[in-house]
Structure 1
Amino acid sequence: MTDPSEEATIEKLYQYGEQLNSAKDKSQNVKDYQGIIAVAKTSVKAKQLSAQLIPKFFKFFPEQAGAALETHLDLVEADELGVCH
C-alpha cells in the first residue's frame, strides 16, 4: 500500500496535467506547471509522471524554462527512474 501523502501528490500531478490539457491558453496555467516542477522532487512515482509532463508542456512556459530544464535533467540523471545515461 502506498503512502497517503504520496497518493495525494500523484493525484495533484494528474490534476495539473488535466488542467493544462484542457486549457485553451495553457500559458495562463503557470501555477499548474510550477506545481509539476515542484512535485518532481518527491517520490519515484511523482518523478516518473513529472518526467513526462515537464517536456509535454515546456513550450508553453518559456519563463519557466530554466527551472523546468534543470528539474528535467535531474530526473533524467536520477538512478531510480532507470533512464540510461
Structure 2
Amino acid sequence: MVFKVGIIGGSGLEDPQILQNAKEVEVNTPFGKPSDKYIEGTIHGVPCVLLARHGRKHDIMPSDVNFRANLWGMHSL
C-alpha cells in the first residue's frame, strides 16, 4: 500500500519549492471550498500533498478557515 503524506501548513507554503513534480489539484467538498488548491508532488520520493491553511496569498483569517473542507479535501486525495 502506498501512503501519501498530507501537510496543512501556515506561513511559508505560498511557493513550496520542496516538492518535485508538483501539480495543483482543485477539490470540491460537501463543506464548500478549501483554503486553496492542493499541491501534489514528492519529497525525496515520498508522495505528498500540501495545502496552505490561510491560502497561498495569506488572505484567509484564522476564524474564516474552512477546516472541514480542508480535511475532507485532503482525505479525498
Shorter-normalised TM-score: what interval?
A: under 0.3
TM-score by length of 2: 0.27
TM-score by length of 1: 0.25
**More strand, by proportion:** 2
- Structure number with greater Rg is 1
